[in-house]
Amino acid sequence: MSDVAVYRKRRGVEAVLLLFSIATAMAGYLLTGLDIDAELPAEWPWALGIFTGLALAAHIVVRIRIPYADPVILPLIMLLNGLGLAVIHRLDLGGSERLHSAERQLGWMVGAVVVFCLVVIFLRNYEALHRYPYLLFLFGLTLLMLPLVPGLSRENHGSKIWIAIGTFTFQPAEVAKIVLCIAFAAYLVDKREVLASAGPKLLGIEMPRARDLGPIAIMWLASMAIMVFQKDLGTSLLFFSMVVVMLYIATERPIWPILGTLLFAGGATAAYFNFSHVQVRVSSWLNPFSDYDQNYQIITGQFGIAWGGAIGTGWGLGRPNLTPLAKTDFIAAALAEELGLAGLVALMLVYAIIVARGLRAALGSQDPFGKLLAAGLSFTFAIQVFTILGGVTRLLPLTGLTTPFMSQGGSSLVANWSMMALLLIITHHARRPQQLRSETPIIDFTSDTTMVLQRQGA
Amino acid sequence: MPDLVTLGLKLGFLALLWLAVLFTAGAIRTDVFGRKISTNDLAKAEAASRKQMKDAKRLAKKLKLTHGPQAGTSLSLGSPIVIGRADDCQLILEDDYVSTHHARLARNNNYDVVEDLGSTNGTFVNNQRISVPTQVGPGDSIRIGQSVMVLEK
């Protein structure tokens, strides 16, 4: 008799962690009120009620529909979303007049959690997504290129990654990243053996065959178009690296990341020498203090982070409102100013744990589609966090990507919640005890000892 | 508020935030290798859930050919079906690997049972060659020669 390892459901752990998330987010909100007005905000029982209700709803749906799902992902995204709400509320109070964008954002969060629940309820078997790789690919690429349509796009601090329909604005890249991830996972599961087959040798490295370069070439062109026309390095980097990493995971051949890095570096260098706006981006990254007016946002953000120091000024006691767009692009800088390095590092750890759990699900998943999808989604998430936090802390040129779950904005919130629903569904399938016998028959005539011969003249 | 209280609240908040992170890390640490249980218990749980499923929907309504020259054909179950190459079979398979009277699928005491009629190349249920009459239900597959058929509800 031997032992096997099975995962427990661990929904109780999830519930306890959710309590921590609610407590932390509420503490931030209440401390803001105490520090600015010296009293608790009048509507705090409402905020607590709605936030707890959302956590409870998501928890119950997960408990019933996907009981083996990873126990830490849901509490961590509740924590991020709650901290984001608290920071937005704090920025509402910081201006000359009081705004109510935190309430609107809470409304969006209700919508996002509803979408999350619907995805978990209706998409328990994610195999259905496997069927239409080309359609999804076209849809994703169209979404990605939408901001280039004249009349739709809205320029936001130099980059054109937003579209506006009436008063409703929306960042299509947020949805496109999920759609393209699904499309590439489905495509690569079917084509990975072809893509891994050997081509001509160059410098001792086996190159892929020319005809297999199609997908990487299309995505390279798309990401270069984003860099040049939408003027956003982060989005460009996000989508290109997503494809390269998924190719690498599917084929296990190191040539793909090498080729990808060379292509991207080459394209980025060419763009730098040919387009002045790329040069402006790079100079405001390397020498922001050379032009105070142009780089006002990044400079005030830097001062904010520096002023925060190791443990921050405390909720409501810094001046994060000085930074333009503090609620969207620079929300991490606002948090770093008031919670200090200790808070920012905790935030980064939370993001890192989510990514690690996603990659763990990819490792544990039994079916190749789920494996690739989980790896692709978590890697894309990691790249997005890396580019925006890197941009805010001046490790990378600044980009207009949102900080997942924290930035103000509905489309991003809904997209990220549904992405996490997808990831949780995959973790449920990966952690569920495997059945001893496969449910579908394995058909393999090639292993038979007899041969099928065609009759003469038949 | 006094500065000291503000400082205390600030540190308290950071402590709470880090406690949440550390608690999460603890939850992951106990989760790394799963829980060891013996295969006996696993098999028991498996059998229990399988029995429940079987009782709920043990009777198939249709037999559908999924692979082979006649893939796509389906016929309803109920009366006994003899499968083979001969003209008096209910399911005739035009296949050199199928015997004249190859196998029989019949309902017996509220179970569908498949029985090999002494064929040359054998009858396979879920890819295992059968030597005695074998009970089958929805989802099980039967392979005869080059044809694979699946029982459906």
If you measure CA to CA, which chain B residue comes closest to A351?
B21
B-chain residues within 8 Å CB-CB of A6? 34-35, 37, 42
Q: Do B13 and A7 touch (CB under 8 A)?
A: no
Q: Cα–Cα distance between A385 and B18 in angstroms, integer?
A: 20
Q: Cα–Cα distance between A9 and A23 in angstroms, integer?
A: 24
Contact indicator for A295, A286 with CB cutoff of 8 Å: no
Nearest to B34 among A6, A31, A342 (CB): A6
Q: pLDDT digits over B120-141, tens only?
A: 888 888 888 888 788 888 878 8
Q: Do B39 and A342 touch (CB under 8 A)?
A: no
Tokens of A382: 């990691």
Q: Apex CA B69: angle with CA B68 and CA B73, to 5°?
A: 85
Asked which of A233-247, A302-316, A354-368, B26-40 is least confident by mean pLDDT, the reply is B26-40
A385-415 burial: b if 16+ Cβ within 10 Å, else e: bbbbbbbbbbebbbbbbbbbbbbbbbbbbbb
User: Does A339 contact chain B (CB < 8 Å)?
Assistant: yes
Average pLDDT over residues A415-420: 94
Nearest to A339 among B14, B31, B126 (CB): B14
Q: Identify which of A221-230, A280-289, A351-360 has the greatest average pLDDT.
A: A351-360
Q: Cα–Cα distance between B42 and A229 in angstroms, integer?
A: 58
Average pLDDT over residues A180-209: 76
If you measure CA to CA, which chain A residue comes closest to B97?
A452
Q: Do A441 and B143 touch (CB under 8 A)?
A: yes
Closest CA to A372 of A197, A208, A119, A184: A184
Q: Cα–Cα distance between A24 and B56 in angstroms, integer?
A: 47
Average pLDDT over residues A84-109: 90
Q: Apex CA B142: angle with CA B139 and CA B147, to 5°?
A: 120
Angle, helix A410-431 to helix A368-392, in steps of 10 degrees: 140
Q: Residue B95's pLDDT is what?
A: 83
Secondary structure letter of residue A189 according to DSSP: H
Runs of H (alpha helix) within chain B:
3-29, 39-56
Closest CA to B16 of A37, A89, A339: A339
Helix, strand or coil, per DSSP, at residue A289: helix
Secondary structure letter of residue B82 according to DSSP: E
Tokens of A227: 């860099």
Asked which of A197-201, A265-269, A278-282, A341-345 is least confident by mean pLDDT, the reply is A197-201
Question: When comparing pLDDT for A166 and A400, which is higher?
Answer: A400
Percent of chain A residues topping a pLDDT of 70: 88
Q: Residue A373's pLDDT is what?
A: 94
Residues 6+ apart with CB under 8 A from A48: A22, A26
Q: Do A441 and B121 touch (CB under 8 A)?
A: no
User: Does A346 contact chain B (CB < 8 Å)?
Assistant: yes
Closest CA to A238 of A159, A295, A353: A159
User: Does B141 contact chain A (CB < 8 Å)?
Assistant: yes
β-bridge pairing B123-125 and B141-144: antiparallel
One-letter amino acid of A296 = Y
Average pLDDT over residues A325-333: 87
Q: Do A38 and B1 touch (CB under 8 A)?
A: yes
Distance from the B32 Cα atom to the nearest Cα atom in chain A, whole angstroms: 9
Q: Residue A198's pLDDT is what?
A: 63
Q: Cα–Cα distance between A370 and A357 in angstroms, integer?
A: 14
Q: Do A312 and B10 touch (CB under 8 A)?
A: yes
Average pLDDT over residues B61-88: 83
Is the model's pLDDT at B77 over the cut of 50? yes
Q: Do A17 and B31 touch (CB under 8 A)?
A: no
Q: pLDDT digits over A368-412, tens only?
A: 899 999 999 999 999 999 999 999 999 988 887 889 999 988 888
Q: Residue A46's pLDDT is what?
A: 92
Distance from the B2 Cα atom to the nearest Cα atom in chain A, whole angstroms: 10
Q: Residue A442's pLDDT is what?
A: 45
Q: Do B23 and A17 touch (CB under 8 A)?
A: yes
A-chain residues within 8 Å CB-CB of B20? 17, 20-21, 23-24, 75, 79
User: Does A122 contact chain B (CB < 8 Å)?
Assistant: no
Average pLDDT over residues A235-257: 86
Q: Cα–Cα distance between A30 and A35 in angstroms, integer?
A: 9
Secondary structure letter of residue B128 according to DSSP: E
Nearest to B35 among A8, A315, A441 (CB): A8
What is the reported pTM? 0.76
Q: Cα–Cα distance between A208 and A259 in angstroms, integer?
A: 10
Helix, strand or coil, per DSSP, at residue A107: helix
Question: How many CB atoms lie under 10 A from the CB of residue A62?
Answer: 25
Backbone angles phi, psi at B16, to 5 degrees: -65, -45
Question: Which long-range contacts link A435-440 to residues 24+ away (Cβ below 8 Å)?
Answer: A435/B46, A436/B42, A436/B43, A436/B46, A437/B126, A439/B139
Nearest to B46 among A1, A350, A435 (CB): A435
User: Does B5 contact chain A (CB < 8 Å)?
Assistant: no
User: Does A358 contact chain B (CB < 8 Å)?
Assistant: no
Q: Residue A458's pLDDT is what?
A: 43
Most A CBs within 10 A among B11, B14, B53, hence the mutation to make, goes to: B14
Average pLDDT over residues A4-28: 87
Q: Do B14 and A342 touch (CB under 8 A)?
A: yes
Q: Do A10 and B39 touch (CB under 8 A)?
A: no
Q: Do B11 and A346 touch (CB under 8 A)?
A: no
Average pLDDT over residues B95-118: 83
Contact indicator for B148, B95 with CB cutoff of 8 Å: no
Q: Cα–Cα distance between B91 and B88 in angstroms, integer?
A: 9
Q: Residue A415's pLDDT is what?
A: 93
Helix, strand or coil, per DSSP, at residue B63: strand
Is the model's pLDDT at A200 over the cut of 80? no
Q: Do A441 and B126 touch (CB under 8 A)?
A: yes
Q: Residue A1's pLDDT is what?
A: 40
Q: Where are the domains of chain A?
A: 134-457
Distance from the B101 Cα atom to the nearest Cα atom in chain A, whole angstroms: 20
Q: Which residue is associated with the tokens 């892929």?
A: A208
Q: Cα–Cα distance between B37 and A4 in angstroms, integer?
A: 6
Q: Do B150 and A442 touch (CB under 8 A)?
A: no
Question: When comparing pLDDT for A17 and A167, which is higher?
Answer: A17
Q: Do B31 and A7 touch (CB under 8 A)?
A: yes
Distance from the B137 Cα atom to the nearest Cα atom in chain A, whole angstroms: 12
Is the model's pLDDT at B65 over the cut of 60? yes
Secondary structure letter of residue B121 according to DSSP: S
Question: When comparing pLDDT for A446 and A20, which is higher?
Answer: A20
Distance from the B88 Cα atom to the nearest Cα atom in chain A, whole angstroms: 25
Q: Cα–Cα distance between B121 and B84 in angstroms, integer?
A: 12
Distance between alpha carbon A240 and the CA centroid of its chain, in Å? 14
Tokens of A434: 């495997």
Q: Residue B37's pLDDT is what?
A: 62
- Binned at pLDDT 50, 70 and 90, residue B50 comes out as low
Question: When comparing pLDDT for A368 and B69, which is higher?
Answer: A368
Helix, strand or coil, per DSSP, at residue B97: coil
- Binned at pLDDT 50, 70 and 90, residue A96 comes out as confident
Angle, helix A233-251 to helix A255-274, in steps of 10 degrees: 160
Is the model's pLDDT at B52 over the cut of 70? no
Runs of H (alpha helix) within A66-171:
73-94, 101-122, 133-145
Tell me how far CA of residue B54 lies from CA of A245, A340, B139, in angstroms: 43, 60, 10
- Binned at pLDDT 50, 70 and 90, residue A23 comes out as very high
